[in-house]
Each structure stands twice: as structure tokens, then as C-alpha cells.
A and B are shown apart, each in its own frame.
Chain A
Amino acid sequence: MAEKEYAYFCGCSLEGTAKEYDESIRAVMKALGVGLVEPDDWSCCGSTPAHTVSHVLAAALAARNLSLVEKMNKDVLTTPCPSCLMAFKKAQHGMTGSEEFKVEVNELLDEPYNCGVESKSSLQIIYEDIGLDAIAAKVTHMMPDLKVAPYYGCILSRPPEIANFDDPENPVSMDNVLMAAGVEVADFAFKLECCGAAFGVPKREMVNQLSYKVLEMAVDAGANCIAVACPLCQQNLDLRQGQVNSTMGSRFNIPIIYFTQLMGLAFGMSPKELGMDKVFVSADKITRRITKAEYEKIKEEEAAAKKPQKAKKEAAAEETNN
């Protein structure tokens, strides 16, 4: 039996274009002893489009799901998708902040929502509830060729009053999770810069330009892979990378991989199980794996080779001091 169990809302994207995110999260969570239970017959959170119609309608579409979670007697809901997360958090924020708003929202619902559910991103659950030690303990394989730019997307930690997680300007949770999984992480300045995904369909060129900046910065940072936590970012940067190249005259070929897929690889899971074959820019070349034991042996040998030099240097330093 799982040690911890959460209500889990995968959201529409993870049933379609972001299947591998769902598959890898389920695999990783299982390995970490966390159970995920889907609310029965959940519906779309409403996302951005509902917010252009009415705050009340948007909150009601989200709250329908939250009230399903209440019925499951769960008080925490986790969702991998930042867009769903924001829809839930904004509904919660609005309904707890104003009784009038709460009444208006509940008037649209069959089952009223009593504001008893806190929504957290799956990244937050992994970072805060499971913790880095538990992640590190599961690592069996290292990927020595991999250097990752962690890309959080714009709304995972913003605005701080609503997101209530990590830093709104320089988040570190994904960096730390990946490092705990033994992955080398690049110092990436565009962790939060918007890639434009929301407008992928109607505003293609604009989105290509925005994505270009993110991809360029990752390459500049020396990364050969971008780790993501958002299905829209992934689809936009991966599926449309070819479009970016033709619009901008660039030659990017950088895999866009969910951070949970990378965790799964470090845990020794098969690429197939993690949906690695579902991404468009293949990560096969950079995700060569060796066992942890092999990796440590190589490191020891390297250290041994360096040691005489270091000892010499220290002795020299001591000399000048005295």
C-alpha cells in the first residue's frame, strides 16, 4: 500500500498530447510510494479561455472538480499541469476571499464547493512532501552526458500570493529535484520567461519568436536538454521546434523532457515506460545511462588522478602564508 495518497487531477492535456507526462508521473510516484487517485468523472478546469468570459464561470468550472475531491474526503489535490493548478488556485483564492463570490459560483454548480481543498503542483508534492533524500535514495543510474536547463514556465510559482510555492523570480525546486536525481543542472536565466504556448494555434509567429528566446538561452547556458513541468511548454518547445527553426533560421535540436521522465530514467525505469518515445526531439543521444556504482568508480579514478596536483597546490599555498 502507498504511504501517501493524493487526489490526482491529470487534466485534459495529459490524456492527449502530454501522455508521457502522465505516464512518467504515475511511474515515479509509484516508485516513491505515493498513491494517486483520480476524482471520478472529472471535467476540464476551464483554463485560460474561461477566464476571458467570466471570473465566476471560470471558478465554477474549476470548483466542480474541487467539490469532487471533497467528496473523496481528500484535502489536497495535486495536478501536474500549471494551467489547471492556476485555475484551481484562483477559484480557491476568489471563493475564500469573498463570500459573495463563493455564493455566485456555487449557484452555477450542482454540488456546492466548500473550499476545503488545497491544490498543489505535482512538483511541489515531490519537492516538499516526498523530499530530496527520498528521491536521492531511489537513484540507480546516472546520465553523464546530460546537462539540463530547468524550465518552470510562467505560472508555477507566480503570482506569489496565489501560487504560494517556491520563489517567484528564481525558483529552485526543480533544480533541486533534478540534482537529487543525479542530473547535472545548468544555471538557466529564463526559468520563468513565457514561451507563448497559450497562443500556439492562433499566433504562431509570435510564439515561435518567444520560444526561440527560451531555446537560445538554454543552449547559451550550456544545456543539451530542457526539463519542463508544463504540458503546454513541452508541446510548444518540442513539437514546434521545427517551426521555430524555419521561422527564425535557427538549428535547434534540443530535447524537451518532463522532469518526471528524467527522474524515472535515474530510477532505472525503461524509456518506454516513461514515454520517452513520445517526444519529437529525441533524447536518446544525451540520456546514455550507467549504473551509479560505475559512475562512482569513474569519479574516484578522476579524483585519484587529480589528488597529487591538489596536494602540491595546498603545500605551496601554506608556504606563502608562513
Chain B
Amino acid sequence: MDTINLSEKTDWAFIEEVKKESGQNPSLCYQCGNCTGGCPYTQYFDYPVSVVMRLLQSGQKETILKSKAIWLCATCETCTTRCPCDVDVANIMDTLRIIARREGKVAEKDIQLFYDSFLDSMKKHGRIFEMGILMGYKMKSGHFMGDAELGPKVMSKGKISLFSKSIKGADKVAQIFNRFQEKAKKHG
């Protein structure tokens, strides 16, 4: 690992940004490791949760935003529930994902694509069209064969529809997305 010059490479503005958007104070963390100990995903993370918290305390913006860890977090709330310092850690992870997305630094492209397919389907139909999401994701990610064996199984139970169906107010849901995007553009 490289030496981190803390005098030059501490991004104080980033710490403040996360603080403001999450409403959490990273200084409360005393690095006990309970979050890492309880996290079901620690073994898949490039940086365990407590290290993400430490990187945040030291203002290491780039490392955090480019980490896979923030995208592999499933918001299962174990860390938040057990934090002895009352830090809503899951909320911080959520906030870090939002910032990573905003700055175009998502390390886990597949997960982002899956989420995007989900949101696209929602925007288009008002509700989730499961087959649509799956197909959308497969097209964008190029993972055509992933879970291929499950398709016929689900079909046989009559659980998944091949045809999309939109709600009456689908345009109203789309409006929510549009207004959000306009506002986001306005504020840069």
C-alpha cells in the first residue's frame, strides 16, 4: 500500500459532504470492528466496512468511491443495528453509493446495470416487470446465459409474465423521475 500523505490527501470537503447527506458523524466511530464482524459480505468486500469508515474518517475519497465494497453492501442493517456508537453505518454506505453514482465512479458495473434496469422498468411501467428487468440487464451486461436454467422453471409455475403491463399512472411515476433529473441538473 502506498504511503498516504495525510496533510495533502485528506479530502475534508468529502467528509463534510458525507456528513451532510447522511446526517451521520463519522468521528463517532472508534474502530471497534463490530460492523465488519457482523457484515455478511465482509469476505466479498475489497475493504471491510470498518475500513470504509476509517477511509472516510481520513477523507480518502477516491479509494472509497472506487471500492467494490459500497456496491456489495445489501443494506441488511446489521452494522447499524449493532454499532455501539449509534452510527447509522448502512446509511453512510447508501450515501457513498449515491456520491459514487453522481461522480460516475461505480466499481461494480453489473450491480449498477441491474439497478438501472430496475429503475428503467419502473419509470416505464410504474411497476416492476420482472422479465423486462432481466432482459434489460442481460442486454446491457452481456451476461446472456446467467441464470438461464431458471427461466423455464419460473415459466412453468406461471409466475412470470412475458408481457409488460403498465399502471394507469405510469406517466406520473415517470414525472417523479423527470422532476428529479431536472432538479439535479439545475443544482449541477
Q: Mark A residues whose CB is within 8 Å of B.
A: 12-13, 15-19, 41-44, 46-57, 60-61, 64, 107-110, 154-155, 158-160, 168-169, 192-194, 196, 198-204, 206, 210, 239-240, 242-243, 277-278, 280
Decide: A55 near B94, CB < 8 A? Known: A16-B130, A202-B141: yes
Q: Which residues of B contact A169 (CB under 8 A)?
A: 81
Whether the pair B147, A194 counts as a contact (CB closer than 8 A) is no
Whether the pair A44, B126 counts as a contact (CB closer than 8 A) is yes
Give the docked Cα–Cα distance between A234 and B53 (Å): 32
Whether the pair B180, A60 counts as a contact (CB closer than 8 A) is yes
Whether the pair B114, A202 counts as a contact (CB closer than 8 A) is yes
Give the docked Cα–Cα distance between A54 and B149 (Å): 34
Give the docked Cα–Cα distance between A61 and B21 (Å): 19
Whether the pair B157, A159 counts as a contact (CB closer than 8 A) is no
Query: Taking chain B's interface residues, is the majority helix, strand, or loop, or is none over half, making it mixed?
Result: helix
Q: Kindly identify, within residues 117 to 161 of chain B, every residue whose CB is under 8 Å from any CB belonging to chain A.
A: 118-119, 122, 126-128, 130, 134, 137, 141, 146-147, 149-150, 153-154, 157-161
A and B contact pairs by CB, cutoff 8 A, 21 listed: A16-B159, A16-B160, A17-B130, A41-B169, A43-B126, A43-B167, A43-B169, A49-B118, A52-B94, A52-B101, A55-B21, A55-B95, A154-B77, A155-B75, A196-B74, A199-B111, A201-B114, A202-B113, A203-B44, A206-B41, A243-B149
Whether the pair A51, B75 counts as a contact (CB closer than 8 A) is yes
Minimum distance in angstroms from A263 CB to a CB of chain B:
21
Partner of B77, one of A41, A110, A158: A158
Partner of A17, one of B40, B119, B154: B154
Cβ-closest chain B residue relative to A97: B23
Whether the pair A53, B111 counts as a contact (CB closer than 8 A) is no
Decide: A110 near B90, CB < 8 A? Known: A168-B81, A199-B111, A203-B111: no
B4 on interface, CB distance cutoff 8 Å = no
B63 on interface, CB distance cutoff 8 Å = no
Partner of B173, one of A64, A194, A280: A64
Whether the pair A239, B77 counts as a contact (CB closer than 8 A) is no
